[in-house]
Chain A
Amino acid sequence: MSTFDKVVEVLVEAKDLETGSITMESTWDDLGLDSLDTVELVMNMEEAFGVSLEMSEDMKTVGDVVKAIDTAK
């Protein structure tokens, strides 16, 4: 499973999003998520991937998250 697919799986599981609505370009805002959701999701990603991620303002899209996870692996 690619990092993207697994990120989508975590997002769908945590926030009941529709799988098809998520792309690499989706922003938190596009997905209807606020800043508190973001913090929670990054923690979920860390757990799912067994990595430690640095939360930053540059993390705006699903693609940014995928990139951060791949770098941290």
Chain B
Amino acid sequence: MMHTPICDLLGIQYPVLQGGMAWIADADLAAAVSNAGGLGIISAMNANGDWVRQQIRKAKSLTEKPFGINIMLASPHVEEVAQIAAEEHVAVVTTGAGNPSKYMKLWLDAGIQVVPVVASTAMAKLVVRNGASAVIAEGGESGGHVGEQTTMVLVPQVCDVVDVPVIAAGGIADGRGMAAAFMLGAAGVQMGTAFLVAKECNVHQNYKDKVLKAKDIDTMTTGRRSGHPVRVLKNPFAREYYKKEFDSTVTEAELEQMGAGALRKAAVEGDVQHGSFMCGQIAGMIHEEQPAADIVTSIVTQAENILTGGCPWIK
């Protein structure tokens, strides 16, 4: 049976978190993952407070289990959303796109477990000093906004500098990845792309189909010119954007204009030509749409089998 410090800390059965994907991870998906024994997470993305509060209440109506909210620190509504997370006493707050220190006291005072996504050892040390109860070390294999380091190199280094449990993210979609994450020192995993194709996920069917069809070489990163790289599935939009990044006659403002609303076009409208289909490198390993509960139990069972079998090369 699998049981790690993350299970006790977050009050969940399996140490499996569902990543907070903007325009994708809503109350329905989060509740389904939490009901399956993992930790579902609602993405607050750039949404305003009313939307976030409504999603939190909806999730509360769908599950008795703990769930989390992912707060994107670069959101124009971050102040308001941070406050609402505290008022609604969500069980867990995860953060992305920056340094959450400014809000940590507010959340800790509300009894919330704060688990920031970190892309470096220094950031991990900083957030733990400010009260984070665990950290998510996310490598650049993941979808959406990515750092430079891979999961393989980042996870053990973060484990070495903090004394709280570490959750590995980026490039994990099955029990092999989970077992490997444990070997690197992690006590849990977070998966985004794997849950994007869950039956309970409301993302446009075209988006799911693109992920299901993707092969190993089908993601790329755009946005390096702006310093905020994003991993997406290759499509006409991504190729065009990439080309423009190398065109010095195209201004930063024009690039920004081009990117605005592109994720929504993918997730809500399913526009395969003009949408930005954020997705992890692991997409090539995801082949079927399944209920969230099956995704959670299959990864856990496979990891247990691998880890109890040990390594065939060592006698």
Contacts and interface: CB of A to CB of B under 8 A. Distances in A.
A39 B120 contact: yes
Contact of B98 (A35, A40, A42): A35
A24 interface: no
B101 A36 contact: no
Interface of A: 34-36, 39-40, 42-43, 54-56
Contact of B119 (A36, A42, A55, A56): A36
Contacts of A35: 98-99
Interface in B112-143: 119-123, 125-126
A43 B126 CA distance: 8
Nearest to B98: A35
Nearest to A36: B120
Interface of B: 98-99, 101-102, 119-123, 125-126, 147, 227
Given A34-B227, A36-B147, A39-B126, A55 B120 contact: no
B157 to A, nearest CB: 12
B99 A39 contact: yes
B227 A39 contact: no
Given A35-B99, A39-B120, A55-B126, 19 more contacts: A34-B227, A35-B98, A36-B119, A36-B120, A36-B122, A36-B123, A36-B147, A39-B99, A39-B122, A39-B123, A39-B126, A40-B120, A40-B121, A40-B122, A43-B122, A43-B126, A55-B99, A55-B101, A56-B102
Contacts of B126: 39, 42-43, 55
B125 A43 contact: yes
A56 to B, nearest CB: 7
